[in-house]
Amino acid sequence: MAEYQPPRLDRSWREVNPGGVVLEPGNSVTYITGTWRTMRPVRDLEQCTHCLICWIMCPDGAITVADGK
């Protein structure tokens, strides 16, 4: 395993390769997504203690919270 090398700070931001650049708009149709989930989470409202851990862990908008429940 290679030893960790801290990033070089002796160069300008203009010399750093850009990251997160979309070179071809609309290219997401070529990527297969959604196959990484191995199980589907299910809430059991009878066992719910209103701890809101499910709200923290689930994708945005999947669980709504009203009045702390």
* Domain parsing of the chain, residue ranges: 43-69
Q: What is the pLDDT of residue 35?
A: 66
Question: Tokens 């070179």 label which residue?
Answer: 23
Q: What is the DSSP string of 31-53?
A: S--S----S-----TTT-----H
**pTM for this structure?**
0.38
DSSP 15: G
pLDDT along the chain (69 residues), means of 10: 80 77 78 68 84 81 77
Distance from C-alpha of 66 to C-alpha of 68, rounded to nearest angstrom: 5
